[in-house]
Amino acid sequence: MNATHDARRQSWVVSANRPGGAFPIQNLPLGVFEAAKRPAIGIAIGDQVLGLRNCAGLLGGLPAGTVEACDATTLNPLMAGGPESWSALRARLSDLLRADHPRVADHQRALAPHLLAMAEVTMLKPAVIGGFTDFYASIDHATRVGRLFRPENPLLPNYKYVPIGYHGRASSIVLSGSAVRRPRGQIASSPGGAPQFAPSRALDYEIEVGFFVGTGNRWGEPIAIEHAASHLFGVCLLNDWTARDIQAWEYQPLGPFLAKSFATSISPWIVTMEALAPFRVGASLRPAQDPAPLAYLASEQDQAEGGIDLRLEVHLRSARMDEAVRISRCNLRQLYWTSAQLVTHHASNGCNLQPGDLLGSGTVSGREDEARGCLLELTQNGREPVSLASGEKRAFLEDGDEVVFRGYCERDGFVGIGLGECRGTVVGGE
């Protein structure tokens, strides 16, 4: 941690100092927005957006290529710059925006005219996502789902040895706020019966965290667990929309396909790994009877600080409701596998990760009933529907339902930060 995490630091952007806000000066997440019909990289500060190209004259002396990367129209060039570049840029921006800087009047005069109200800008996808891999890192989710379909053997024997994942569809990743069309697919109405091609009747959400890769690795060269964390740029919220009835028919023997590839929603702001530093915690403790991670996945440092105390909430609003209501909450710190282990395992066979690649955590769930991260878990595969404030019930999502994810971090002695929101509304597929 460094001075950018100082709880006493405040910004001359007044809205950044409001208690409970997602984007104080201690956060400074990065995103891409549209201004003057041109995409631009910006940071969120309070309820404002500051374009980084407007800061160019105040960014001298940063590591080579950093200023040029700030003038790009996606975050990929900045992601490729590496931790030294990211940290130096964050420190400079924090200085430019802090209220007690000796040259605060100059900074305010130069930058205040370029602040735009967040509500008035159009956010774009933050990076060109060349590859998307979704993991299955929550043992509570894996166990609970396994129990629904294999009560005698809920957790397969490989789970405690290998971070399970699959390669998803990068082209159908959409930004928060995009409508999600109900997919059609092959659905078997009864065990052993012939399928029909029809709209999904069991559409679900999955609350996840997305990890954006910063610097990649050369093809054929693995990433050691000791260095894996430095390859991650930051995190976002991720909704892995899933058609459970399509999934049930198609997933054997090769796993997820059309039941998931129709849409994945992400939040627009990427909270950097450095901003998350105060909220790092030890990896989730494994039961004594569980096998230790294999050597290439084992690191004392990662076990000491590989977890992130990131609280996640799911809110649901039907077309008949004025406001979304919370239906579950969980915490990223409960994952069985750390983000560094996901990176190391992904590259362990020589697979080359690239700047802008996205790694999904998999559904985040916990041991508590309220910590179930999808409707499949919450409703016991539709057998116990969730009751909404409107009097409606939900086994799975209906047309017009809006799903809202929120994420935030808090710790005594530090200013809390948020990830913002990831929203998506289901529309009919007919």
Q: Does the annotation count 345 as an active-site position?
A: no
pLDDT reported for residue 119: 92
Nearest to 308 by CA among 411, 415, 166, 164: 411
Per-residue pLDDT tens digits for 37-93: 889 999 999 999 999 999 999 999 999 999 999 999 999 999 999 999 999 999 999
Judge whether 132 and 264 are in contact, CB under 8 Å: yes
Overall average pLDDT of the 213-225 stretch: 98
- Three-state DSSP class for residue 388: coil
Residue 189: which pLDDT band, with cuts at 50, 70 and 90? confident
Reference 132, options 163, 169, 164; nearest CA is 169
Strand partners, 147: none
How far is the C-alpha of 406 from the C-alpha of 238, rounded, in Å? 10
The predicted pLDDT at position 346 comes to 98
The pLDDT value recorded for residue 223 is 98
| Average pLDDT rounded to a whole number, residues 318-346 | 97
233 SS3 class = strand
Which pLDDT score is estimated for 96?
Answer: 98
With bands split at pLDDT 50, 70 and 90, how would you rate the model's confidence at 429? low
Catalytic choice (5, 141, 345, 346)? 141
Q: Which of these, 44, 82, 33, lies nearest to 355 by C-alpha position?
A: 82
CA pseudo-torsion sign 302, 364, 162, 159: positive
Looking at residue 334, its pLDDT comes to: 96
pLDDT of residue 430: 59
> Is residue 394 pLDDT above 70, yes or no?
yes
Length of the chain: 430
C-beta of residue 421 within 8 angstroms of C-beta of residue 322:
no
Residue 191: the pLDDT is 78
Q: Which residues contact 52 (CB under 8 A, 6 or more apart)?
A: 40, 41, 42, 43, 59, 70, 71
Identify whether 268 is preceded by a cis peptide bond (ω within 30 of 0). no
pLDDT band at 399 (very low <50, low <70, confident <90, very high): very high
Percent of the chain with pLDDT over 90: 95
Query: pLDDT of 148-177, one tens digit each?
Result: 999 888 999 999 999 999 999 999 999 999
The mean per-residue pLDDT over the stretch 258-285 comes to 97
pLDDT over 80 at 329, yes or no: yes
Checking if the pLDDT of 306 tops 70, the result is yes
On average, the pLDDT of the chain sits at: 96
% pLDDT > 70, the chain: 100
59's torsion region: left (phi>0), alpha (psi -120 to 50) or beta?
alpha
